[in-house]
Amino acid sequence: MYTALKSIHLTCAVLSICGYLLRGWWMLRESPLLNHRLTRILPHTVDAIFLGSGIWLAILLRYLPHQQPWFAAKLLGILAYILLGLVALRRGRTKTIRATTWIASLACFAYVVGAARTKSVASWLSLWP
């Protein structure tokens, strides 16, 4: 069960970031594809499975944010990623705001992957010698 859930979670992580990069590119190019019906539905489906598998894994492994600081940090990173993504792809009034928040959201995603891999609040920095 653990292995299957983790594979689903990781596959969704790859699909989610690839889709997000593509939508960011379309946002920068002001492409009408950003508002295509499929573009509005598909990412939500992937993200729902992504989130669901993550929550399921956390329950299975008995991870609690107040007991594992890296997990709490990961959840905060995810929240920042989602909120910045919302501004980048929908709410940002100018292209500068949208582009800046898009870059910042990608930094949050990188932080979250690092926190998950290293199980440390310092994320990738914990690997620094």
CB 102 within 8 A of CB 27: yes
The size of the chain, in residues, is 129
| In the complex, least distance from residue 114 CB atom to ligand HEM, rounded to whole angstroms | 9
Residue 27 or 46 with smaller CB distance to ligand HEM: 46
CB 9 within 8 A of CB 57: yes
| In the complex, least distance from residue 30 CB atom to ligand HEM, rounded to whole angstroms | 26
| Alpha-carbon gap, residue 84 to 78, rounded angstroms | 10
CB 105 within 8 A of CB 88: yes
CB 16 within 8 A of CB 43: yes
Residue count, binding to ligand HEM (CB under 6 A): 18
| In the complex, least distance from residue 12 CB atom to ligand HEM, rounded to whole angstroms | 8
User: Rule CB under 6 A: which of 77-116 touch ligand HEM?
Assistant: 78, 81, 109, 112-113, 116
For position 23 contacting ligand HEM by CB under 6 A, the verdict is no
Binder among 26, 63, 72, 99 for ligand HEM (CB under 6 A): 63
